[in-house]
A = this chain, B = another copy of it.
Amino acid sequence: MLTMLARPRQAAEMLKALQSLLLPLQAAPGFVSGRLYRRADDPDIICYVEEWGTQKDLDRQIRSSHYTSLLALMEKGAKQPELRLNWVTEVRGLEYLEAVRLRDR
């Protein structure tokens, strides 16, 4: 998850560049999803999210030209970007809410 602040009037350009980075990922081994968001309270704050199946898949990608391009793009924001890699060991859905709320009764 990469969070960047676009320079004034450059958000659209930055989104376009990030979008074009996402496209070829669809075919990469272990790729799960790639999404591009803007903060609701400040559309100049752009959030680029990649999800990978395993650490091996992520590492392979990090060594690729994809990340060379991504690192170059990270230089173009209005301030230091924030990169956050989350190791997710468990995923739950709506059933978790129901279980917790019922357990309490």
Q: A interface vs B, CB < 8 Å?
A: 15, 19, 35-41, 43, 46-47, 59, 62-63, 67, 71, 82-94, 96-97, 100-101, 104
What is the oligomeric copy number? 2
CA distance A105 to B92 in the complex (A): 38
CA distance A92 to B59 in the complex (A): 13
Q: Are B35 and A15 touching (Cβ within 8 A)?
A: no
What are 20 of the A-B contact pairs (CB < 8 Å)? A35-B39, A36-B40, A37-B37, A37-B47, A38-B43, A40-B46, A62-B97, A62-B100, A63-B101, A83-B93, A83-B94, A83-B97, A84-B91, A85-B93, A85-B96, A86-B86, A86-B91, A87-B89, A87-B90, A88-B89
